[in-house]
């Protein structure tokens, strides 16, 4: 009887021990990847929405994020990239404020074997293989859609001539160059269109206001249309137009780019005629791409999100909340 009892105890013990052996390994709480991201700054609601989206997407994907804000200075971005290299992050991502001047620091990242992803904006370089891919809007298409809208609007108002002022983004940045090129291509060949002046507003609300004041002093009521490269500058320009005694959206056609909530609300009120969307929600694709790069998988060279046009040609009450 005692023999049987000890056999039973042994059996139970080994079942318990074996259960311990076959237990699944505990899920590691270690982040799957360390990503260094250098953001341009906080110049617009778009940029703030983009930073938030990247932080939330990193969290959701279990990615550890080293985020540095360059406060609108290229030298701060270069220093941040050097810190990421010294820290041996798995992947570096950054939104280059301007296109030139990145070769040296990107050579350093390449030598360290760290893949680099461009987010939102592109660089200009003669060298091959400095970056793995670009995730960002098709800025040329945005500018083209803005120009197409203006041509349609001129048709619908039977305008014989359209005097345009352009408030551009930061000189030598990708959105500035491409939004300008796309717009000019779309209106080229239409003899009614006349760009009176293009002026750099650096994507800032204060510069949008300052430039609009100057443009109104210079051209006054001759201005038929304002093409502004982002919502922030548009929102800065509108009160100046009103102060000068004109009704934006009626006396002047107002075209903006980004599609943030504040600009969409103004579009609904009739003071902006058209807003071309530029989505800041690039975070998830960035995280997926970074994970692929870490595991040595191939990634697409250029990834553009789908974007649309919001305008007074549609029922604006149906536009869903924008989230930035
Ligand atoms: O690079 C994207 C542009 O930069 C957005 O249009 C603008 O609002 C931002 O600051």
Binned average pLDDT, 10 residues per bin, the chain of 324 residues: 47 45 51 94 97 98 98 98 98 98 98 98 97 98 98 98 98 98 97 98 98 98 98 98 98 98 98 98 98 96 97 97 96
Q: Is the CB of 203 under 6 A from ligand 1?
A: yes
Is the residue at 209 inside a domain?
yes
3-state secondary structure 289-322: HHHHHHCCCCCCCEECCCCCEEECCCCHHHCCCC
Distance 120 CA to ligand 1 centre (A): 8
Instruction: Supply 32's token pair.
Output: 């799957």
Distance 234 CA to ligand 1 centre (A): 12
Whether residues 272 and 170 fall in one domain: yes
Whether residues 60 and 171 fall in one domain: no
How many structural domains compose the chain?
Answer: 2
Distance 7 CA to ligand 1 centre (A): 75
H-run or E-run covering 42: none
Whether residues 168 and 65 fall in one domain: no
Q: Chain-wide mean pLDDT for the chain?
A: 93
Whether residues 198 and 153 fall in one domain: yes
Q: Is the CB of 208 under 6 A from ligand 1?
A: no
Whether residues 169 and 124 fall in one domain: no
Whether residues 107 and 231 fall in one domain: no
Pocket test for ligand 1, best of 38, 42, 47 (most atoms within 8 A of CB): 47
Q: Is the CB of 90 under 6 A from ligand 1?
A: no
Q: Is the CB of 324 under 6 A from ligand 1?
A: no
H-run or E-run covering 252: none
Quickly count: other Cβ atoms within 10 Å of residue 26's Cβ: 6
Whether residues 121 and 150 fall in one domain: no
Print the domain residue range for 186. 139-278
Closest ligand 1 atom, residue 43 Cα: 10
CATH code of residue 65: 3.40.50.2300
Q: Is 197 exposed, middle or buried (0-12, 13-18, 19+ CB in 10 A)?
A: middle
């Amino acid at each position: 009887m005692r023999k049987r009892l000890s056999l039973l105890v042994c059996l139970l013990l080994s079942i318990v021990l074996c259960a311990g052996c076959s237990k699944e390994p505990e899920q590691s709480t270690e982040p799957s990847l360390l990503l260094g991201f250098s953001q341009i700054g906080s110049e617009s609601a778009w940029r703030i929405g983009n930073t938030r989206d990247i932080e939330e997407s990193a969290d959701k994907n279990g990615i550890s994020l080293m985020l540095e804000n360059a406060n609108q200075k290229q030298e701060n971005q270069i220093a941040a990239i050097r810190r990421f290299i010294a820290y041996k992050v798995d992947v570096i991502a950054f939104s280059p404020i301007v296109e030139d001047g990145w070769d040296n620091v990107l050579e350093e990242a390449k030598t360290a074997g760290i893949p680099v992803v461009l987010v939102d904006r592109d660089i200009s370089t003669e060298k091959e293989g400095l970056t793995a891919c670009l995730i960002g809007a098709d800025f040329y298409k945005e500018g083209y859609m803005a120009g197409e809208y203006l041509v349609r609007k001129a048709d619908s108002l039977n305008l014989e001539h359209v005097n345009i002022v352009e408030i551009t983004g930061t000189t030598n940045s990708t959105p500035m160059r491409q939004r300008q090129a796309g717009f000019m291509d779309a209106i080229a060949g239409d003899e009614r269109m006349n760009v009176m002046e293009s002026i750099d507003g650096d994507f800032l609300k204060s510069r949008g206001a300052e430039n609009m004041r100057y443009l109104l002093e210079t051209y006054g009521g001759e201005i038929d249309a304002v093409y502004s490269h982002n919502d922030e500058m548009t929102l800065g320009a509108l009160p100046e137009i009103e102060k000068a005694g004109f009704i934006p959206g009626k006396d002047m056609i107002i075209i903006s780019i980004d599609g943030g909530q504040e600009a969409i609300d103004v579009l609904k009120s009739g003071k902006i005629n058209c807003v071309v969307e530029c989505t800041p929600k690039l975070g998830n694709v960035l995280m997926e791409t970074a994970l692929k790069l870490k595991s040595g998988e191939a990634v697409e060279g250029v990834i553009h999100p789908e974007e649309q046009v919001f305008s007074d040609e549609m029922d604006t009450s149906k536009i869903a909340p924008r989230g930035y």
